[in-house]
Amino acid sequence: MTINEVILCKYGEVILKGANRATFEAALIKELRRRASHYGLFEVYGKQSTVFIIPKNDECDMDGMYEAAKRVFGIVGVNRAAVCDKNMESIKALAREYLPLKLLGKKTFKVEAKRSDKRFPLKSPEISAEIGGVILSTVKGIRVNVHSPEVTVTVEVRDEHAYIRAGQEPGAGGLPPRSAGRGLLLLSGGIDSPVAGLMMAKRGMEIEALHFESFPYTSERALEKVMDLASLMCEYTSKMYVHTISLTHIQEEIRDKCTEDYFTLLLRVFMMRLSERLAKEYKCSALVTGESLGQVASQTLGALGVTDAEVSIPVFRPCIGLDKEEIITYARQYGTLETSILPYEDCCTVFTPRHPKTQPKPELVAAELAKLDVDALLEEAYATKKTEVKLIYPEYR
């Protein structure tokens, strides 16, 4: 028999949104349609807490679309399923053809049936028993284990068709892209900031990025590394604007005119002010940083209090309570770790003080800033702003 496969994407938190659910569903389906358009001609629609991705011809790249769907925030489970007519003979025939290859090498299984069409003559336990019998008679060496099976076979009897799938891979979770406003990520090139950006993207935030460079103290390779990280993040965000601003003259002025212990903290003050200005220009409602409490001298409670006082918009720090190993785990999960650990410096490593202030007093920070022409330095730095768009779709890889 001819086997027709589709991709089924299971909703996550979207189902909890009550009266606002339709808005979140629309954002999720829009993103999946955007992705699908780059892998062939697919029909994409949502029904009964599932997004159906249906290939319209043999040229569709099902493998590519399947992998892309797993990286769409808002989806908790992704699976490939075979579809057939909604009668027991067709379901059993499909199980005999479709499941042996899917269960190859597996030792145990169980069958779950979901009968959303209550007019179907068999109840869910009866469907499970019938399909379990088919599997036992067609797959050699496999046995039933209802408590801890290697694979769960699911039969879904829906309004129009029946679907059979073996197992389910986890999706990215969270909320659909661009469903929770826009934030500006301070993207340094280290391990933490890409993780922070993706954690906020997982909550539905549209992410733009700002990278501070200090050429010639930082290299072109360091900037390339940041752009590579942005591309990896776009595996989840689809699209992201990356802005760069030069801090070279600001850092030189701080080095020449200010007390060494305050170098890093003063630099952070300038970074926050420039970030807020850019955020407002590009209609970002918050800043996002990769800071973790106590990880380095500029991330103590006192230092964070000083830098927060420099801006009037929220600063989100999703990594604030994580230790380094936890952040590394997330970086490995998102695929950014190997690029983040490449040995190219960022601006925060330039002119690092030997004994940075960890509990700064705001009045002493103000006294150090008074040694500089702050407004002129900010204007000069902001004039260096450049913008690049990063996209992940196949033709841009």
| Residues 163/6, Cβ–Cβ less than 8 Å | yes
Residue 96's CB is within 10 A of a number of other CB atoms, namely 16
Amino acid at the residue 106: K
| DSSP one-letter code for 345 | -
Beta bridge partners of 240: 390
Amino acid at the residue 165: R
Residue whose tokens read 């006294």: 367
pLDDT for position 349:
64
What domains are there in the chain, each with its CATH number?
A: 4-170 (3.30.2130.30), 182-396 (3.40.50.620)
Closest CA to 29 of 48, 51, 47: 51
Beta bridge partners of 212: 245
pLDDT for position 275:
98
pLDDT for position 396:
37
Amino acid at the residue 297: A
C-alpha atoms less than 13 angstroms from C-alpha of 61 in its C-beta half-sphere? 12
Q: Annotate 128-163 with DSSP letters as a single string.
A: HHHHHHHHHHHSTT-EE-SSS-SEEEEEEE-SS-EE
Residue 363 C-alpha from the chain's centroid: 40
pLDDT for position 394:
55
- Please give the Cα distance from 241 to 205 (Å, whole number): 14
Q: Which two tokens stand for residue 320?
A: 């604030």
User: Average pLDDT of each block of 10 consecutive residues along the chain (397 residues)?
Assistant: 90 90 94 94 93 95 95 96 95 96 95 92 95 95 95 93 94 94 95 97 97 88 92 93 96 93 92 97 97 86 90 97 96 96 71 73 92 97 94 57
| Residues 23/46, Cβ–Cβ less than 8 Å | no
